[in-house]
Amino acid sequence: MIGEEHKVAGDWFRLHFVENPGMAFGMQLGGSFGKILLSVFRIIAAAFGVYYIIKIVRAKEHNGYVVCVALILAGAVGNIIDSMFYGLIFDQGTTLDMATGRYIDYYGVAEYSSQGYAGFLHGCVVDMFYFPVLQGKFPSWFPIWGGEPFEFFRPVFNFADASISFGVGAILVFQKKFFKPKKEETITEPIAEA
């Protein structure tokens, strides 16, 4: 846990400051090279996303589908901007130790700094929404995790993550509506008279 946590609605909705150095759910690609690789991949994926939106708008695809793809792209671009600039203008929080390639937590809310804590494309993405809706322990008879604590919904996320998740979820839910088969024009030939 980094920084403060503020309860918004009971115990199930909290604002919780977390600096995520990697991708979804805090997964990482190992050190400085992995961070650059991830950032370059995100930028290429976003460029493809712009191309794809232009393509589906020109093809007059379902408006709902276009909106969903735009939500996914907006979320991706938001996380890219965070990763590009956050480390340049803030300090504290999390920093990359260039010698070991590991992130070090300072356990404080980031503050504006003219120095920053990381270079271009090496910054973290800030996550803040936390919904620990259900907490408890797995029963002792439960395989693998028996007796261990569990929490639903554990991930901490941001607006960009929510935008991506909503866009993908809506595409899955409404796929029959978005991807109706196009009506093919049938060409009938006149019957030859004998």
* Enzyme catalytic residues: 127, 161
Cα separation, 111 vs 130, in Å, equals 21
| Beta carbons of 188 and 159 less than 8 angstroms apart | no
What does the chain come to in residues?
194
Q: Taking each helix axis from N to C terminus, what angle separates 63-89 and 159-173, rounded to the nearest 10 degrees?
A: 160
For the record, the structure tokens of 187 come out as: 């060409």
Greatest CA separation for the chain: 91
Cα separation, 77 vs 42, in Å, equals 8
For the record, the structure tokens of 128 come out as: 């803040």
For the record, the structure tokens of 65 come out as: 């589908």
Quick one: how far is CA 186 from the chain centroid? 44
